[in-house]
Structure 1
Amino acid sequence: MIKGIIFDKDGTLFDFNATWGAWARLMLQAEAGDDPILFTELADVLGFDAANDRFLPGSVVIASTVDIVADHICQVMPHLSKPHLIARMNAGAAQVAQVEAVPLEPYFTGLRARGLHLGIATNDAEAPARKHLERAGVDAHFDFIAGYDSGHGAKPGPGQLLAFATLTGVDPVQCVMVGDSLHDLDAGRAAGMRTIGVLTGPAQRPELAPHADVVLDTIAEIPGWLMAENLI
């Protein structure tokens, strides 16, 4: 039986491109200033389709930490102070209006009513992640919230997931990891958990399916799948 579910955040709880597309354009414009060639170079290195304000499948931004994203930006703009760049990115990210993949408050209220332990494992920094969850009104539903900087490592490593299992006292084999990227699914497998892929990020079903127990359109389908599999 499943007793715990740990979720990725961006692309899983929140639609990835609807949330981050416009923000990315503004961020890149701010860094590039009035230089359209530099803007294009930054968009290319981050896998950002500026014509449509969307990240391309395989973009480094989709599943990487802000530290790695900053490294890519600094490849194009080596004069930048990486710590200052990260601080600007985290401050901006904390203010982004998140577009919920499904209405989150009733969704998580329903999961909690089933007695499930809930967690968040994101490669975002913890502080903006908490801001996003608080703004959505769902932060209190989670037993565990970890970012890449919370001391448990980053995905695809299993550290965040194992810390969730330890904190809640739930065996990893009784947990599910839910995410929209291979980093999420690989982390779940490494932790010994079942894995569910969702299609609210840039990755497509054929990419996720070999790494997941199931791929669903959105997190809304998870309770039904768990019941169909006699897991709750």
Structure 2
Amino acid sequence: MSFSATHPALEGIRLVVFDLDGTLIDSVPDLAAAVDGALRDMALPEVGEAAVRDWVGNGSRKLVERALHAVGAQDMELEAAHETFLRHYRQAPCQLTYVYPGVRDALEALAARDMMLGLVTNKPTAFIAPILECLGLSQYFVVMLGGDALPTKKPDPAPLLHLAERLEVVPSACLMVGDSRHDVEAGRRAGFRTLAVPYGYNHGEPVAASEPDVMVESLGELV
């Protein structure tokens, strides 16, 4: 396979920062199993995978909060419910999760071009390495940042700016790749170029409405 051609979105880019859930991997089946497991432990009704698919993107605590509200249990102790969810998720974070088509080819192509690749996700840090290792993706990223690594998470631009500064790359030479309005907003506020994919999680809304700089149907288009 030849990697000589360059997608226009990559012109002048030195650092590509990827979102994880909904961009590189579909983790909703495992997340939904953990949410429903936590709800069962609290003698509450399950919500199912379809609902969880619309709630992902703002971190695990917010995911659990949305599930509690959906079943009319918003007055329950959120922290205890969140810990119960985390216990279930730790037991099987990568049992049903899979890599989207085109992702491996894109990462391989970018690595072959000596592009620096980073990961910024709102998922708790403890889950990132195990999932990436399970799926064979960890070797591509020079730095990975979870949602609990800094005081703020996406859509705040701080995590993106932290990576750019750490790797000594000016924001104008960085590309944020994601699936949601939070990724696009974080990238725009950080001064990054933004690229979005339409197949992920965006609270039931088309990510194109957030007006990213570039849209691709598959990350395989970057090859």
Separation (CA, whole Å) in 2 of partners of 1:111 and 1:168: 17
1:161 is aligned to 160
- 1:151 CA displacement: 2.0
How far off is 1:183 after superposition?
0.4
Tell me the equivalent position of 1:7: 18
Alpha-carbon shift at residue 210 of structure 1 (Å): 3.8
* Alpha-carbon distance between aligned partners in 2 of 1:74 and 1:198, rounded to the nearest angstrom: 29
**Cα distance in 1 between the residues matched to 2:92 and 2:187:** 25
Where do 5+ consecutive residues of structure 2 fail to align?
1-11
Q: 2:57 aligns with which of 53, 63, 74?
A: 63
For 2:219, the equivalent position in structure 1 comes to: 219
* 2:50 pairs with 1:54: yes
Q: Is the 8 A contact 1:198 1:217 kept in 2?
A: yes
CA shift digits 1:36-75 (9 cap, x unpaired):
xx325xx2xxxxxx4xx32477x3x321111222333455
Number of aligned residue pairs: give it. 206
* TM-score calculated relative to the size of structure 2: 0.79
Q: Is 1:32 the counterpart of 2:31 in the alignment?
A: no
Asked if the contact 2:56–2:63 (Cα under 8 Å) also holds between the matched residues in 1, the reply is no
TM-score of the superposition, structure 1-length normalised?
Answer: 0.77
- Alignment-derived partner of residue 121 in structure 2: 122
Counterpart CA distance in 2 for 1:157 and 1:27 is 26
1:132-159: CA deviation from partner (whole Å, max 9, x where unpaired): 1111222121111011111262100011
Relative to structure 1, the CA distance from residue 103 to residue 92 in structure 2 (aligned partners, 3 Å threshold; closer, same or farther) is: farther
Percentage identity across paired residues of the two chains: 28
Superposed counterparts of 1:1-232, under 5 Å: 1-15=12-26, 19-21=27-29, 23-25=31-33, 27-32=35-40, 38-39=44-45, 43=47, 50=48, 53-55=49-51, 59=54, 61-75=55-69, 76=73, 78-79=76-77, 81-82=80-81, 84-92=83-91, 94-102=93-101, 104-151=103-150, 153-203=152-202, 206-223=206-223
Contiguous gaps of at least 5 residues in structure 1 = 44-49, 224-232
Distance 1:63 1:95 in 2: 18
- Give the letter aligned to residue 16 of structure 2: I
AA in 1 matched with 2:35: M
- Cα distance in 2 for partners of 1:169, 1:219 equals 25
Distance 2:180 2:87 in 1: 25
In 1, Cα distance between equivalents of 2:85 and 2:34: 15
CA RMSD, Structure 1 to Structure 2 (Å): 2.7
2:118 is paired with a residue of what secondary structure?
A: strand
